Structure 1
């Protein structure tokens, strides 16, 4: 008696992109993709994004000075070239260092970047994150609105296309909700942390592909830190955490995504 193979699900496709399938299941998924061009195109796009992220966050060159890499990041962020920087960071660091040496040799003094050039307005989705944060605080204060503390990251990704970062083991999830935004469905999470107090983590697909390193700013009277990996942006909103600590937390979350 011949048994029918298990149908290929969205979770299988996600696991295929993440290299989490055994060889037999990979063959089943590839057979499914061969018969479904639209799914194959979507999976190929995810594979490309995965490989770009792996290249973007590869280890720096052995002889690259950390302060030189930091200077290259700051200059590229000011010019709005975050995605190009993370792919070409070693080359950018060499060019910046060469420019500094050349300027000094020519007697032109140190390289200066004006505040106008180096600054960049916060992305529009930060305002949505602040609104989601306030809505989440209101929900937690209402007895008639029960909190959803169970986090199913795989189901959220399958239904919304939003990949959530891995949370530290000592961060407690107080509420998880799907929140409407101008860019479509988003995820709003209320978190209690031992070192940073109460935080909210907002995730949304802003409609563009970008790799933006974690950055901190103030918006709406609150400290926020944000980053974007591929097609998903993430925003941490703090109740009372210092900006540097919030940026460090965002950096830790971003590293779980590549």
Structure 2
């Protein structure tokens, strides 16, 4: 049954939460949610509940050495299976294989595989750039840092609402940062558990509800999520990836 343009059935919203729709159907649902705050709030609550149920039903975490070995084995099996499939296909498969290798993160500026296999939105690239610029500014005496963080003023100027940030994070620099998506908010923090970490928020140009995903580069980890029309990205050193993802989950909960 096609999804109604103006009034989707409850089952359509459930299918959106369960990620069972085509791209076109998701676009129709997101257009409806953008016009209906009550329906959007319900979807956000359902997504959070779905995530919490997955956590509750998940197997206990393996010890770190075993977990690392399991990840390497799973990655090796996936690559082996892909290579076997490519070897059975004639020359066009070579081009597909080269594209897959580039997507897998072998290029110097590529974004690595995510925890949930979701493609990184443009805001992630902007956040990584903003993070590097913030660290550069922090080491320059001629570029004074702005430690005052006025969330209300920033929201009035940009239309971007910041999440509830941890009280023990120390603001090192706060700037309105230009990006291809428009002006974003870049805040660099000093933290005890994550080291230098930045939070970048920008209006994404469309409505979506995305729970936190993790992407990595050779040097950094970026955890992103989108609530409504605003994309949020946390960036820290790559070796803090797991803790960064957990923190992004906690921050996303403050926006529901």
The alignment's TM-score, normalised by the length of structure 1, stands at 0.58
For 1:140-159, what aligned pairs fall within 5 Å after superposition?
140-159=138-157
Consecutive unaligned residues in structure 1, runs of 5 or more: 1-44, 71-114
Note the residue ranges of structure 2 that are not aligned, 5 or more in a row: 1-32, 59-112
- Shift of the 52–151 alpha-carbon distance from structure 1 to 2, 3 Å rule, reads same
Contact residue 34 and residue 228 of structure 2 kept, 8 A: no
Query: How far apart, in 2, do the equivalents of 1:65 and 1:123 lie?
Result: 26
Question: What secondary structure does 1:209 align onto?
Answer: strand
Report if the CA contact (8 A) 1:130-1:220 is conserved.
no
- 1:52 and 2:50 matched: no
| Cα gap change, 1:50 to 1:233, in 2 (>3 Å) | farther
Query: Whose radius of gyration is greater, 1 or 2?
Result: 1
In structure 2, the residue matched to 1:248 is 246
Secondary structure of the residue aligned to 1:148 is coil
| Change beyond 3 A, Cα 1:144–1:161 | same
Q: Which residue of 2 aligns with 1:28?
A: none
Matches within 5 A, 1:97-176: 119-176=117-174
2:192 alignment partner in structure 1: 194
CA contact (8 A) 1:216 1:224 kept: yes
What is the total number of aligned residue pairs between the two structures?
167
Structure 2 distance, partners of 1:47, 1:133, is 33
Which structure has the higher relative contact order (CA within 8 Å, separation 6+)? Answer: 2
Q: Tell me how far 1:125 sits from its aligned partner.
A: 1.5
TM-score normalised per structure 2: 0.59
* Cα separation, partners in 2 of 1:169 and 1:130, compared to 1, 3 Å: same
